[in-house]
Amino acid sequence: MASQEIETLTAALARLPGLGPRSARRAVLWLIKRRESSLVQLLEALDAVRETLVECSVCGNVDTRDPCGICADPRRDQRSLCVVEEVADLWALDRAHLFTGRYHVLGGRLSALDGVRPEDLAIDSLLARIEEGGIDEILLAMNATLEGQTTAHYIAEKLENRPVRITQLAHGLPVGGELDYLDEGTLAQAIRARRPVT
Ligand SMILES: [Zn+2]
């Protein structure tokens, strides 16, 4: 039976996404064994995050400054705006280094099931950014889920009469994916988004 302090730490870690009680116990033991190296390092990193992280008031990204590094970067294309559901999606897309514009984080997706309505998402602030002008393209980078696509449709409708080009991520075959292993939804999307051979 572990002490109350260790139980509390284990319970806190077990709440992290991707970790359950078993993984949390292993992580705690691992940290206890490396008290001076890893545990201290983790404490300092957590402390630094608590002290400095802010939500960007322009795009909703999480960074150590507001506006965030992406919004403040003059080399970024000001005319392209990529709309994503969550900060994690922004980070994933930006890691790919292919999109050179800026982002807008909605903070979720429309969901009748979870009771998420348009006013719960950062849609008004998106429309306000477009209203300010200077944006030519809106890339709707929602997840390829029913709720993600519903959200994309809703935003596309809202933007119907504005002078912006609306684009969407192509959904299809993952790089290195074998047809045999793909689910039907992915295959159907790939067929629908087929393009001429170049
Ligand atoms: Zn930002």
pLDDT attached to residue 6: 92
Q: How many whole angstroms from 70 Cα to the centroid of ligand 1?
A: 6
pLDDT attached to residue 124: 96
Q: How many whole angstroms from 59 Cα to the centroid of ligand 1?
A: 4
pLDDT attached to residue 55: 95
Assign 182 to helix, strand or coil.
Answer: coil
pLDDT attached to residue 1: 62
Comparing C-alpha atoms, which of 96, 87, 83 is closest to residue 152? 83
Q: How many whole angstroms from 44 Cα to the centroid of ligand 1?
A: 25
Q: CA torsion sign, 42 to 46 to 47 to 49?
A: positive
Q: How many whole angstroms from 96 Cα to the centroid of ligand 1?
A: 18
How many angstroms separate the CA atoms of 32 and 39, rounded? Answer: 7
For the chain, list the strands marked E by DSSP: 54-55, 62-63, 80-84, 102-105, 137-140, 165-168
In whole angstroms, how large is the CA radius of gyration of the chain? 21
Q: Which domains can be identified in the chain, with CATH numbers?
A: 4-51 (1.10.8.420), 80-168 (3.40.1360.10)
In terms of DSSP bridges, do strands 62-63 and 80-84 run parallel, antiparallel, or are they unpaired? unpaired
Q: In this structure, what DSSP letter does residue 116 have?
A: B
pLDDT attached to residue 164: 93
CB atoms within 10 A of CB 90: 26
pLDDT attached to residue 145: 86
pLDDT by position in tens, the chain (length 198): 679 999 999 999 999 988 999 999 999 999 999 988 899 999 999 998 888 999 999 999 999 999 999 999 999 999 999 999 999 999 988 888 888 999 999 999 999 999 999 999 999 999 999 999 899 999 999 988 889 999 999 999 999 989 999 998 887 777 777 888 888 888 888 788 777 776
Q: How many whole angstroms from 72 Cα to the centroid of ligand 1?
A: 7
Residues contacting 142, CB < 8 A, separation 6+: 83, 84, 85, 109, 148, 149, 151, 152, 168, 169
Q: How many whole angstroms from 129 Cα to the centroid of ligand 1?
A: 12
Q: Indicate yes or no: pTM above 0.75.
A: yes
